[in-house]
Every structure is written in C-alpha cells, then in structure tokens.
Amino acid sequence: MQNLAERKIQGKLKYIGSAFLELLKKYYFVPIGLFFLHKALHIAPYTSISLTSKIYLFMLALVCFTVYEDIRHDIKLVPFLLLCIIFFIFIFYANKHGYAFWGRILRWQIKKGFVINLNPVFSSIPFNDGSFARVYKSETLTWFFRMVYNNGFVLPVLLVLYRSALIMDFKKMLRYALSAHVLQIFLISPFYLIFHLQEVWYVLGQPDGLARHLSSRSAAGITLNCFPSMHTSICFAMFLLVLRERNKIFKFVMSFFCLSVIYSTLYLEIHWVLDIAAGIILAIIAVKLSDFILDKLKMLIQKPLDKFYYKNVKTIYVDNYYLDTMKN
C-alpha cells in the first residue's frame, strides 16, 4: 500500500512537472516580460537613473507581452539558438564599436574635403528648413523630441531584433538588420562622401536644438552628413517592416516611436525637409533590397534549412524549387 501511494504521488508530481514545462514552453515570454517590468518599476522612482534606461526597460516588457500571436512553432530550438548567439555577437560588437568606426569616417571626410556644398542651396529653398514643424514649441515637446532623437538611431532596431528573437524568427532578424544599418551604411556612404550638408540650426545660425553645448570646432564636424537623413532612413525602414507584424499594440507603439524620431529631426532643426524625403526613399530601397536578398538566399539554402532548421517540413517539388507548405 505504501509503495502504491508513493507511485501515485510520483505520478502526480510527474504530471504537474510536465504540465508546468508545457505551460512554460507555450508562455515563456511572460516571465521574461515580468522580469523587465519588475526592473522598470523598481528603478522608476530613482532620479539618479536616466529616463532612457527606464523607458528602455518598459519597452522591453512591452515587446515581450506582444509576441504570442507571432511565435513560430516550426523551428528547431537548438539550431535557432546557435544562429542567435552568432547573430547577437555581431550585433553587440557593431553596437559597441560602430560609433568609433563612424567617427573615423567623419575624420577621413574632413581631411579629404567635399565635392558639392549643399548648404547654400538647401538654405535657399522655401520651407526646406522645416519651420512648419516648429509652429508650436514647448518645453515638454522639446524634452520629448530630444529623448526620441537621441535614442532613435539604434533603439528602434534593437527592440525589433529582440522581439524577433523571442518569436524565434531568424529570417525577421536578418530582414530587420539588413534593412537598417547593415545595408544602409553602404547605400548612404557615397552621398556623405560627395555632398557637404550641415544641420539646419548650424547653417541658419540658430541655437542647437539638442542643446549639446558644442564648441565652434566641434559643431563644424558633428553637424556633417545630413543628406540623406540616416535617422529617417533607419526609422522609416523599421516602420515599414513593423507594419508587417500581427500584434496591433506593438505596431502602434513602434510606429509612433519611429515616426516621432523622424519628426524630431525637423522640430529640433537637425535635418532639412529634402533630407527626410531622401531618407524615406533610401529606407524603401533598403527594405526592398533586403527582401530580394533573403528571397534569393532562401532558394540557395532551402534544402539544409528544411533538414536542420525547420521541423516536420512537408515539401513539394515544383520547377526545381522546394516550396514549403508549412512556412509563410
């Protein structure tokens, strides 16, 4: 009788353990989101911690709580995690050393000189200074737009990459990364090497909208490379891709963030209207190019993907291509 009772207890414990693991497997994003939310709420009262850090944690929590309907269930976990590790090592390395690399490019540009000076041309075009975006100004708006601009070059990309990792969609991770800095650095560099254009406030002799308290020499170097606006091209590319996501809350919040960054460049007198237009065109090209690259890449590596990356794949052979009947 004692052995029977022990077996029943062990069976119940095994059942509870299996049910817990199944629940965790299905809703793994909830404890991760609760962790970030707890951290955000914990540091919220401390004035010594930057507002950027607080908002970043709240955004990470939001990202976690919006992934359920986008999670992929046709992916093998171990190959995905291996790809993620390699991918994020590259991303963290680029994030750490990217600004230093960009600084070397700026210094090289200054030494080489410029081919075409756009300052007088852009300043003479009516409404090109974006004055319509500053019809109404307030301390609150200025604080808000400074915050989104200062975080608008990297944070929109990192947030969508983290979310793509949570939903186990490596293809989305690649598409976001390619559409952002990876492709855009190469697409935009020729413009920066050919055209000399500085920020609106500097050319028009206005106060710096970001209140960076720059010396004359520093301002002359830092205000370079305005055409096209890379803040715009990065954020608009992320905006276009975010519109493809299923979750409406995530789409709304990220779209608002990305579009606010673009508007902030006009409000703070950083970019000209034509910079914004060129940045939008560059973003569209980057997204289309990343779609093209990934489509071609999928054709080349479809067989190994079906074997090592996807699970329970059913394929049919048509015109020398494997068409996956399970994947989008």
pLDDT digits (tens, 9 = 90+) for 49-95: 888 888 889 999 999 999 998 998 888 889 999 999 999 998 888 77
φ, ψ of residue 282 to 5 degrees: the values are -60, -40
Q: Give how far Cα 149 sits from Cα of 58, 59, 155, 177, 262, Å.
A: 18, 16, 10, 20, 8
Is residue 282 within 8 Å of residue 291, measured between CB atoms? Answer: no
Q: Give dist(CA 202, CA 138) in Å, integer.
A: 21
Asked if 33 and 115 sit in the same domain, the reply is no
Domain boundary among 9, 35, 65: 65
Q: How many domains does the chain have?
A: 2
Asked if 139 and 160 sit in the same domain, the reply is yes
Asked if 28 and 168 sit in the same domain, the reply is no
Asked if 231 and 122 sit in the same domain, the reply is yes
Asked if 30 and 129 sit in the same domain, the reply is no
- pLDDT tens string 236-273: 999 999 999 999 999 999 999 999 999 999 999 999 99
Q: Which domain holds residue 50?
A: 1-65
Asked if 96 and 201 sit in the same domain, the reply is yes
Q: Give dist(CA 321, CA 223) in Å, integer.
A: 50
Q: Which residue has the tokens 């976690």?
A: 64
List, for the chain, all residue ranges whose pLDDT scores fall below the cut of 70.
Answer: 1-7, 13, 15, 17-18, 20, 98-99, 102-103, 105-114, 313-328
